[in-house]
Amino acid sequence: MRGFGLAARQARAPLARVAARRMSSTPETVYDVVIVGGGPGGYPAAIKAGQLGLKVACIDMRGAPGGTCLNVGCIPSKALLHSSHIYEEAKHGFGPHGISADNVRIELDKLMEHKNKTVTGLTSGIEGLLKKYKVDYIKGKGKVLKAGEVGVTDMDGKDAGVIKTKNIVIATGSVPTPLPPVPIDEEAIVSSTGCLKLAKIPKTMIVIGAGVIGLEMGSVWRRLGAEVTVVEYLDRITPGLDSEIAKTFQRILTKQGMKFKMQTKVVRGERKGEGVSLTVESVKDGKQETLTADIVLVAIGRNAYTNGLGLEEAGVKMGPRGIVEVDERMQTNVPGIWAIGDVIRGAMLAHKAEEEGIAVIENIAGKHGHVNYKAIPGVIYTFPEVANVGMSEDEAKAAGIKYKIGKFPFMANSRARANALTDGLVKFVTEAETDKILGVHIIAHNAGEMIAEGVLGIEYGATAEDIARTCHAHPTMSEAFKEAAMAAYDKPIHF
């Protein structure tokens, strides 16, 4: 329900109550599957179930489908990232092309209006798809009572009855990880949700956490005029990313004007007037200092949202940090209860959840659903973007794999030079003996699109030579992908 006003929730509540009463008042109604959660894992699962002819219901506590991703995550943040990039380009980036513009200004209310229209348009589209495939979409909160039974609480918090079902899929997603010394009020100390709807552009912002969310949202507000400082406990940004790529990425962000305080622990934070005072401590020597900012964004990660779902009471085995334990078919230890997305192991990514949502329904329907976790891409939507799939060089080294590296810089790519977009590179990690692609890593303005070729290569067990001998159009940024593959098994032509 985060991100929606009380009035909106009350307006939707009667619909939820009617739907829930109708289903619970007919004892003969038994669903093939009930999905708890309507996010990027839950709603595709519901659609797939409908396509396969299963009787399906989707219970969504937010009141609008799409989950965190569509409502207060992936989609609104990308709208802000693109809008803020256009503004920065108009103000500072046209120079190489001989274009100048005076009196460039940002109207924050219109920018936010575009973001909000994007979200509402997509959520209504999903509701239409759910209706098309005969999914009973129930607005309310679901709780597992036992295998085969889900209790529903409507949008006003009132009991709306019990739904009977053969299978239950938990797809409730995740929530921001709190930092107890820095309590979030969504005004001056914000989570990613609050950071998406600031009423004015802050003069100063501190981002706690140098991960994907922190760097994306920090980039938005830096472009719009804020002085942004990122405070990170570790000695590097983007933990889990290939270390060479991470170092290059940090250099680019620093050149853009983002500041970093690495190996710095946050001791406490508190409101001071209209701003925030933050006490931080050096990890190396324990020396403390005080930082101040108009806005502090807490972006230290996300936790599975499983509290209050009745899973432990139903006998479902749980892991650390609220994670639901599942097997390779995404089934829990309790027959008939399944789980997908951010509530199970693996990266917390919308597209991973969608793949699992489709696969789990195929398994429920007696088919053979499967997800190749080695071929799940990750993208950071800054400018340039950063994308990766498969193993990093660090992981290959730690695993004792004999590997080769192939790299190609965009400085040597003709299209990148013509477009004045030369920051970044493509990096291949391959198995030395077989030339099989183990991982691909890209920094480029269109890395999120370009990585799909690497995903496909890993999915089909391709070698670097397979990519290198595939014709790529000229002049394109993707030629750098081909040349990096050439560098992995032989030598590139243009570098």
> Looking at the annotation, which residues are catalytic?
474
Strands (E) across 191-256 are located at 204-208, 227-231
Are 261 and 230 in contact by the 8 Å Cβ rule? The answer is: yes
Token pair of 39 as six digits: 């996010």
Contacts of 194 (CB under 8 A, 6+ apart): 184, 186, 187
Token pair of 9 as six digits: 């929730």
Q: 384 to each of 206, 221, 235, 422, 425, how far by Cα in Å?
A: 21, 16, 22, 10, 10
Q: Is the dihedral of CA 220, 222, 227, 228 positive or negative?
A: positive
Q: Is the dihedral of CA 430, 436, 441, 442 positive or negative?
A: positive
Are 10 and 32 in contact by the 8 Å Cβ rule? The answer is: no
Residue listed under structure tokens 């891409």 = 377
Residue listed under structure tokens 């789990």 = 360
Are 350 and 74 in contact by the 8 Å Cβ rule? The answer is: yes
Whole-number Å distance between alpha carbons of 200 and 109: 9
Q: CA angle, 231 as apex, 225 and 234 as ends, to 5°?
A: 145
Residue listed under structure tokens 């936790």 = 303
Are 170 and 353 in contact by the 8 Å Cβ rule? The answer is: no
Give yes or no for a cis peptide into 475 (omega within 30° of 0). Answer: yes
Of 88, 85, 84, 66, residue with least CA distance to 75: 66
DSSP string computed for 290-315: EEEESEEEE-S-EEE--TTS-TTTTT
Of 179, 164, 144, residue with least CA distance to 57: 164
Token pair of 421 as six digits: 């977009």
Question: DSSP alpha helices (H): ranges in 276-412?
Answer: 350-364, 393-398
Q: 413 to each of 205, 252, 398, 416, 477, how far by Cα in Å?
A: 36, 18, 32, 5, 7
In the 8-state DSSP scheme, what is residue 308? T
